[in-house]
């Protein structure tokens, strides 16, 4: 089965995947494009942090798939930690108020921290996170995001590593969800409009 050139390998209708595939309007970024970009980012990050010890912070849950692929493309010593945050708001719009659901396990004072996010939309989540983590005195703090939606930005956020700049559309897959669904899809896609209605 092919959707816009991206091959879907496993369709298990018994587990509801068949229903989810019917919800897709368009594949925006294919598995092949994602894989190539992750390799490129991993190479750049490894070069930029050469000789340093890097702590990569995964922002759960959206970044988990990207993060798991990215860390395996890093060729320097890397440490892993996880944070879960929730922005108050409805399913597709963030309000700017952020709550930490799971904090880091370790202190970051004196460490080089790279935040790994799924998407920068309004920028409010990352603005809060960067300020929160900066107060813990890391040696440096940078941002790596898979996707950037600059049209929707309401606050200044300096993105150091960006996978893809995308137009103002709500996307799912490769970790990103709509109402907690579609995270497992191996590509980034746009859902049919009736799904949100
Ligand atoms: P921001 O605070 O508006 O930048 O939003 C950041 C968070 O909103 C991301 O980490 C995502 O969880 C969510 N988000 C924003 N846009 C999308 C989208 O197109 N698809 C899925 N989640 C999104
Ligand atoms: Mg999210």
Residues with CB under 5 A from ligand 2 (ion): 62
Confidence of residue 88 (pLDDT cuts 50, 70, 90): low
- What ligand is nearest to the CA atom of residue 122? 1
Maximum C-alpha span of the chain:
51
Q: Which residue of 119, 155, 188 sits with most ligand 1 atoms within 8 Å of its CB, as the best mutation to test the pocket?
A: 119
Beta carbons of 152 and 163 less than 8 angstroms apart: no
Residue 154 main-chain phi, psi, to 5 deg: -115, -10
Q: Which residues line ligand 1 (CB under 6 A)?
A: 62, 87, 94, 117-125, 170-172, 176
Query: Hey, how many other C-beta atoms are within 10 angstroms of the C-beta on 164?
Result: 17
Cα distance between residue 160 and residue 145, in whole Å? 8
Tell me the angle at which helices 64-71 and 31-48 cross, rounded to the nearest 10 degrees. 60
**pLDDT tens-digit series, residues 175-195:** 999 999 999 999 999 999 899
**Among 26, 100, 121, residue to substitute to test ligand 1 (most atoms within 8 Å of Cβ):** 121
Distance from C-alpha of 35 to C-alpha of 52, rounded to nearest angstrom: 25
Q: Is 120 exposed, middle or buried (0-12, 13-18, 19+ CB in 10 A)?
A: buried
**Rounded (5°) CA angle 64-106-54:** 65
- Which member of 69, 121, 148, 160 is catalytic? 121
Radius of gyration of the chain (CA): 17
| Domains present along the chain, CATH in parentheses | 31-167 (3.40.50.2020)
pLDDT at residue number 17: 52
Helix (H, G, I), strand (E, B) or coil at 53: coil
* Catalytic residue status for 69: no
* Interval 36-55: pLDDT, tens: 999 999 999 999 999 999 99
Least trusted range by pLDDT, from 64-68, 84-88, 122-126: 84-88
DSSP 27-48: EEE-HHHHHHHHHHHHHHHHHH
Q: What is the tens place of the pLDDT at every residue in 108-140?
A: 999 999 999 999 999 999 999 999 999 999 999
Instruction: Report the run of H or E that residue 115 belongs to, with start and end.
Output: strand 112-120
Contact by Cβ (8 Å): 159, 115: no
- CB-CB contact of 191 with 170 (8 Å): yes
Decide if pLDDT at 79 tops 80: yes
């Amino acid at each position: 089965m092919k959707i816009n050139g991206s091959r879907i390998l496993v369709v298990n209708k018994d587990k509801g995947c068949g229903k989810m595939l019917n919800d897709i309007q368009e594949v925006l970024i294919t598995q092949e494009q994602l894989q190539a970009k992750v390799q490129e980012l991993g190479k750049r990050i490894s070069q930029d942090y050469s000789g340093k010890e890097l702590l990569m912070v995964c922002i759960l849950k959206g970044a988990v798939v990207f993060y798991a692929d990215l860390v395996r493309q890093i060729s320097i010593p890397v440490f892993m930690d996880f944070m879960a945050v929730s922005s108050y708001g409805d399913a597709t719009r963030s309000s700017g108020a952020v709550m930490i659901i799971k904090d880091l396990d370790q202190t970051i004072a004196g460490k080089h921290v790279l935040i790994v996010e799924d998407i920068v939309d309004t920028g409010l989540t990352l603005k809060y996170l960067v300020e929160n983590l900066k107060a813990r005195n890391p040696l440096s703090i940078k941002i790596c995001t898979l996707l950037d939606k600059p049209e929707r930005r309401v606050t200044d956020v300096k993105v150091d590593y960006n996978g893809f700049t995308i137009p103002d559309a709500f996307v799912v897959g490769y970790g990103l969800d709509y109402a907690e669904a579609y995270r497992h899809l191996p590509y980034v896609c746009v859902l049919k409009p009736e799904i949100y209605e």
